[in-house]
């Protein structure tokens, strides 16, 4: 699954992504930094509100488009190396 970069929201420590589900409807995600400096993947609403953390299945192939800004790239790096 390829998650396409949408935008970075620095004030909320989020990098927003979207993809299409099996019904061809948009689904939104964001790796978000937690208060303890860990980064988790959240399912989000269209307006960017984080709904709940997503458990990624072992062996699942998720690819992220590279954010355009340095801060977004750093948040994504933290998530991918956690």
pLDDT in tens, 22-79: 999 999 999 887 777 778 889 999 888 889 999 888 888 889 999 999 999 988 888 8
Structure token pair of residue 13? 């420590």
Write down the pLDDT at residue 21: 92
Write down the pLDDT at residue 34: 78
- Residue 1 pLDDT > 90: no
Write down the pLDDT at residue 70: 93
Burial of 78 from C-beta contacts in 10 A (0-12 / 13-18 / 19+): middle
Structure token pair of residue 53? 């953390």
Count: domains in the chain: 1
Write down the pLDDT at residue 4: 96
Q: Give the range of the structural domain holding residue 62, as residue numbers without chain letter.
A: 2-81
**β-bridge mates for residue 19, sequence order:** 27
Contact predicate 6/19, CB 8 Å? no
Write down the pLDDT at residue 60: 86
Q: Which residue has the tokens 């208060």?
A: 35
Write down the pLDDT at residue 33: 78
């Amino acid at each position: 699954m390829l998650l396409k970069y949408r935008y970075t929201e620095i004030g909320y420590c989020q990098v927003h992504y979207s993809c299409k589900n099996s019904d061809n409807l948009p689904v939104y995600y964001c790796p978000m930094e937690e208060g303890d400096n860990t980064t988790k993947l959240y399912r989000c609403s269209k307006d960017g509100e984080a709904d709940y953390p997503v458990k990624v299945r072992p062996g699942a192939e998720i690819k992220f488009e590279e954010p355009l800004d340095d801060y977004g790239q750093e948040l994504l790096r933290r998530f991918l190396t956690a």
